[in-house]
Structure 1
Amino acid sequence: MIENVNAEQIEQTATRRTLRFEIILVLALSLGQSAVFSLLSFADKVTRAPLRDQTTSLNNPLSTREFFDFTYQLLDIVFALVPVVLALYLMKRTTGRTIRDIGFDIRRPGKDTMLGAGLFLAMGVGTLGVYAAGRALGVTTALSAANLGDYWWSVPVLLLSAVRHAVLEEVLMLGFLFTYAKKLKLGLWSIMIGSAVLRGSYHLYQGVGPMIGNMLMGIVFGWVYQKYGRVMPLVIAHFLLDAIGFVGYALIGPAIGIGQ
């Protein structure tokens, strides 16, 4: 009997170690790595000049030659999604949960789209407000959201980039991390706040405003995921936020004097 108890304890300890290792592995290859570089970038910026006088550029060219820039952009998007595949594979192998279990599928397109669109509207207004407040307080850099050349493929690549960010962040921050945290028997609020803090940290390179805004969004998204158990509405909401930000900036920015 004592041997069985010890065997169970050893197995549980080994499982917890496996869960922690896989969390660290996935995050180190993706958003955890981004958080480290974001913190370093923020430290560099605040010691260089006031944040209000600096600009953070997103979606930048990767080559001065059109064909190679296009190719690099596509490869960058594809390889950025590899950690998602790894996370889903490990999650299925270690916990038994699949993409269907976390709601990363198209079984409910109507409901998912309606909920995602509603979240997009609510988060969009909030995001603009936090960004404006951050700029007014001088703790947020100006954002240049789309800096690709004037090519036929620029808008499609910006949309694919929005897909990349939406899938990467929501699948990992919600589906993967919540699944593993629950297996580790962490409390709901610990999971939600931890995920939100990590989400905010890898946006800190843009300034304090985007960090706070994304932390708040992380809490809201975490609550919605916990309530409905589906990642897809959050992926849709995130995609819409980025798509409107990226493409809107690329198409409207030049007309109002803030574009490329």
Structure 2
Amino acid sequence: MVSAAESAPTWPTPESSEQVRRAIKLEVAVVLAITFGLSGANAALSLLESALSPGGVGGQTVALNPSRAAQSTIDLLFQLLGVARLLGWAALGLYLLWRSGIAPRAIGLVRRLRRRADIMPGLLLAAVIGIPGLGLYLTAHALGVSVTIVPSSLEHWWRLPVLVLSAWANSAAEEVLVVAYLITRLRALGWSENRSLLASALLRGSYHLYQGLGGGLGNIVMGLIFGRYWQRTNRLWPLLLAHALIDTVAYVGYTFLRGHVSWLP
């Protein structure tokens, strides 16, 4: 016969701090491997390929939102799948933080946006990053250290709403994962605020290297500014709004200005 002590359920013992650290390291490695870490490796290879190609980096063209199919409906579905993938990445980061006891509110995703605390700072950040960023791109392109960026090559009737959706999806994935999720996890591992900030900014720069060195450096600066703002305010909505606005202006603005202004490559 089996005794009562032997048949009683066994409960897991509390994890040690070292076990928790190992679990967090493994989690971060897996998340980066399937999201922006892998994107960074691809972007670095793209930059190397561009540098070795005839004409160098300056002779290459990269489309950010290319058409994926000749059929309009199929192309639309491909675009929406891309949006869903990015939103899924953001949801993954939020879910993993929630599972560890960190609710969205704790990283600055409050339900109600405030004009002074969220909207106005978002507009200011968009201007601070977007305007110099355009100047940096044009300068880098003129110097031949940046590829020619085509924000959109879509021609279908649905292109404008899809471009806006894409801008918001990019914003959600990057700001949730690269800022809120990564810095929070690195804090849990005992990293300093400066070291965590630098890691976040370098990751952001890495997956933009396909744009050339100018794009990579510009996004490192963006990462430093965005990450520090979040560290000091713990409000994520301004970053989401700023990033979405920058991308929306770039995508939609290019659609209307292409072929009508001489300064746009």
**TM-score, normalization: structure 1?**
0.92
| Other-structure match for 1:215 | 220
1:134 matched to 2:123? The reply is no
Alignment-derived partner of residue 91 in structure 1: 97
Q: How does 1:45-56 map to 2 (within 5 A)?
A: 45-49=50-54, 50-56=56-62
2: CA distance, partners of 1:80 / 1:204: 19
How far residue 187 of structure 1 moved from its aligned partner, in angstroms, is 0.6
1:112 aligns with 2:118: yes
The one-character-per-residue Cα deviations of 1:65-101 (angstroms, maximum 9, x if unpaired) are: 001101111112112221221221111112x111111
Distance in 1 separating the partners of 2:73 and 2:138: 37
Q: Any residues of structure 2 matched to 1:86-235 within 5 Å, and which?
A: 86-94=92-100, 96-110=101-115, 111-149=117-155, 151-235=156-240
Letter in 2 for 1:99: P
Contact map agreement 2:86 2:172 (CA 8 A) in 1: no
Candidates 51, 71, 74, aligned match of 1:68? 74
Would the alpha carbon gap of residues 256 and 176 (structure 1) be closer, same or farther in structure 2, given more than 3 Å must change? same
Aligned-partner residue type, residue 196 of structure 1: A
Q: Distance between the aligned counterparts of 1:189 and 1:28, measured in 2?
A: 23
- Which stretches in structure 2 are left out of the alignment for 5+ residues? 1-12
User: Could you tell me how far apart the structure 2 residues matched to 1:33 and 1:83 are?
Assistant: 13
Q: Which residue of 2 aligns with 1:43?
A: 48
Q: What does residue 65 of structure 2 align with? A: 59
**What is the one-letter code of the residue matched to 1:17?**
R
User: Amino acid of the residue matched to residue 204 of structure 1?
Assistant: L
Seen in structure 2, the aligned counterparts of structure 1 residues 61 and 258 have a Cα distance that, compared at 3 Å, is farther
In the TM superposition, residue 177 of structure 1 has moved relative to its aligned partner by 0.7
- Say if 1:126 and 1:213, in contact at 8 Å, map to a contact too: no
Judge conservation of contact 2:47–2:57 (CA < 8 Å) in 1.
no
- Which letter maps to 1:63? A
Maintained 8 Å contact 1:104/1:171: no
Find 2:83's aligned residue among 74, 77, 82: 77
SS at match of 2:149: strand
Compute the TM-score of the two structures, normalised by the length of structure 2: 0.90
How far, CA to CA, are the matches of 2:164 and 2:259 in structure 1? 18
Question: In structure 1, the residue corresponding to 2:157 is in which secondary structure?
Answer: coil
After superposition, the C-alpha distances for 1:139-196 in whole angstroms (9 at most, x for unaligned) are: 11111111111x2210000000000110000001111011111111101110111110
**RMSD over aligned Cα, in angstroms?**
1.8
d(CA) in 2 for partners of 1:25 and 1:58?
26
State the AA in 2 paired with 1:181.
L
Please give the alpha-carbon distance, in whole angstroms, between the structure 2 residues aligned to 1:250 and 1:197.
30
How many residues align structurally?
251
Counterpart Cα distance in 1 of 2:254 and 2:111:
29
